Amino acid sequence: MPERKNVCIIAGDMSRWGVREASLVDVVQEAAKECFDDIPALNRKDIDGFLFASSYCGRNPFQVNAAPVMAERIGVKPINMCTRVDTLCAGGSSGIILATGLVKAGIADVVMVAGGEKLYTPQRWETFYSELASIDHDWDGAQGMGLPPPFFAMTAKEHMKHYGTKKEQLAVVSVKNRRNGATNPKAQFQKEITMEEAMAARPIVPPLGLFDCCPITDGAAAVIVTYPEKAKEFTDRPLVYIKGSAQAALHSMSANWPGEHLADWVHLRTAAKRAYEVAGVGPDDIDVAQTHDCFTISEIIEMEELGFCKKGEGGPFVESGQNDFGGKVPVNTEGGLLSVGHPFGATGIRQAIEMLKQLQGRATRQVEGAKTGLTHNLSGLNVEHTILIYGLEP
Amino acid sequence: MGFENFGSVSFTTEAKPVDFVTYLEQGKVMATRCKECGATYFPPKMDCPKCLQSDVEWFEIKGKGKLVTYTVVNYGPAGFEDDAPYILAIGDFGDGVNIFGRLSRGIKEDDIKLGMELKVAPKKLLGDRITFEFQKG
């Protein structure tokens, strides 16, 4: 089998995200159709690998071995690989990393990576019960942990205690991401909010209010991954290379947290160091980023651990607009999880699609001249961090 | 008595450190120590993740711990709806023993201070159920 030096992402799009009157296969088919429409010269027969990222497919829609089900529904007949990937909130990014490996090794030539979830069902408790399955079930679950807000509220409190971060600085993140999402026709929330609304929102778990928390979402997304020579058969657009990646998991149970305190994300620092090393770039080279804003506090800490600002200075960094358009590194340029929503397995793919568009110069809210970009997911109750670095140069 | 009676909601009935629940019934919260490498574990583990050996001993968590962090849960996940509000916390009991659990309902939220002394004790629940909780040290 041929070993290939470089791999790129050549097309992508997504279904409408939100509370959908549609099944999992329905939204996956919508996303695949939009993705194929993004690259008309590609024939579905060209897809020889298919990865499907989904975590709750075996819980709410009650569909295991989901990859062949989705492949048939979207009319692809992969002959080299057809399987599901589960890394909860990072599943889509895991799929893209795995597709990179498959293409590099010559195991597959043209891989579709799709991701999707159906989280709103008539039995709402199914989703809340499933949340308990996403952490250490036997011990953390038995205490009534499970829904993420309490954990990230603890994290926010720790960040406030150690670094003096203020509730207003959390609000700045939700206002920015809602503003970016307001022009995204696929987003769950397409409405801006004001600082006053963000500050006065009803508490979910103090200090986190309603707008500090991302929603759960029905939706899907899909991208195409291949190698440069093959890509040129289908597209004249600039090639967006996958320059490097990392995925770090240092612990699982809440009490075994690897950092000094809950606002010290050593596993993200570890993943960032590795991803920058593999890609041959540093934080100053990143022109645009999509980071995992499951909660406003997450984005603040991510700015620090990804090296965009010093540890502890995430609050002032976002408050002064350094991660907004015109700042040092615009982040979550199409709304992030806070605005677009969070169908777990699809989120990393949604980030890759925005990165593809940013680097090809066709994003709705374009960062002018962006050449290198970074996407990031945290998954589980902050037990794993996944990073991909994309660029116009391999 | 086994894990089917542990916690507000049972998630596992078959697990190797089943004696943990028997010790709770006897009024003790126990952890394990690997006899090969000395690593300590809470929750208890009958096989050591550090050295992969399986010769372990039980020891009681008697000393005082410190409150590392906490959060008030106003909305419980499925099965815990009637429990809410409750307070989840992490306590550092030294010697590698960090415990994730609930604060006793006897501790008022206004009285909680990070770093305050805690002890961990068994807590009987409705029916035959049993768990552990943090109390003032």
Quick one: pLDDT at residue A130?
A: 79
Backbone torsions φ then ψ of A391, nearest 5 degrees: -160, 160
Point out the least confidently predicted range of A89-103, A304-318, A374-388, B69-83.
B69-83
Tell me whether residues B9 and A254 touch, CB distance under 8 A.
no
Domain ranges, residue A373: 147-213+242-391
Mean pLDDT of B24-41: 96
Range from A22-31, A304-313, B71-80 carrying the lowest mean pLDDT? B71-80
**Interchain pair A261, B6: CB under 8 A:** no
Residue A139 located in a structural domain: no
Read off the pLDDT of residues A154-204 as tens digits, 9 standing for 90 and up: 899 999 999 999 999 999 999 999 999 999 999 999 999 999 999 999 998
Distances (CA, A) of A351 to A221, A226, A333, B22: 10, 18, 10, 49
Number of domains composing chain A: 2
| CA A110/CA A9 separation, integer angstroms | 10
A162 and A152 in contact (C-beta within 8 Å)? no
**Which residues 124-183 of A have a C-beta within 8 angstroms of B?**
125-126, 128-129, 131-132, 137-147, 149-151, 153-154, 157-158, 161
Q: Among A168, A197, A231, identify where a domain stops.
A: A231
Query: pLDDT band at A393, cuts 50/70/90?
Result: very high
User: Would you tell me how many other CB atoms lie within 10 Å of the CB of residue A113?
Assistant: 32
Concerning whether A267 is annotated as a catalytic residue, the answer is no
Q: Which burial class, exposed, middle or buried, applies to B75 when counting CB atoms under 10 A from its CB (0-12, 13-18, 19+)? A: middle
Q: Which of A119, A121, A128, A139 to mutate to test the interface with B (most CBs of B within 10 A)?
A: A139
Structural domain contains residue A135: no
- Does one domain contain both A173 and A108? no
Q: What pTM value is reported for the model? A: 0.94
- Tell me: do A173 and A113 sit in the same domain: no
pLDDT of residue A196: 98
Q: What are phi and psi of B66, to 5 degrees?
A: -120, 140
Q: Which residues pair with B88 in a beta bridge?
A: B71, B102
Distance CA A307, CA A288 (A): 13
- A1 domain-assigned: no
Residues A86, A73 share a domain = yes
Distance CA A309, CA A294 (A): 20
Does A237 reside within a domain?
no
Q: What is the mean pLDDT of residues A122-148?
A: 81
Active site residue A159: no
Per-residue model confidence as pLDDT tens digits over A212-262: 999 999 999 999 999 999 999 999 999 999 999 999 999 988 888 899 999
Which one, of A62, A67, A12, lies nearest residue A34 by Cα? A12
- pLDDT for A283 equals 98
We report the CATH number of the domain holding residue A26 as 3.40.47.10
Distance of alpha carbon A18 from alpha carbon A1, whole angstroms: 42
Whether the pLDDT of residue B10 is over 80: the answer is no
Average pLDDT score over residue span B97-110: 94
Q: Do A281 and A359 reside in the same domain of the chain? A: yes
The confidence score (pLDDT) of residue A378 equals: 97
- Over chain A, what is the mean pLDDT? 95
In the numeric block, which tokens belong to residue A325? 């358009």
Boundaries of every domain in chain B:
3-136
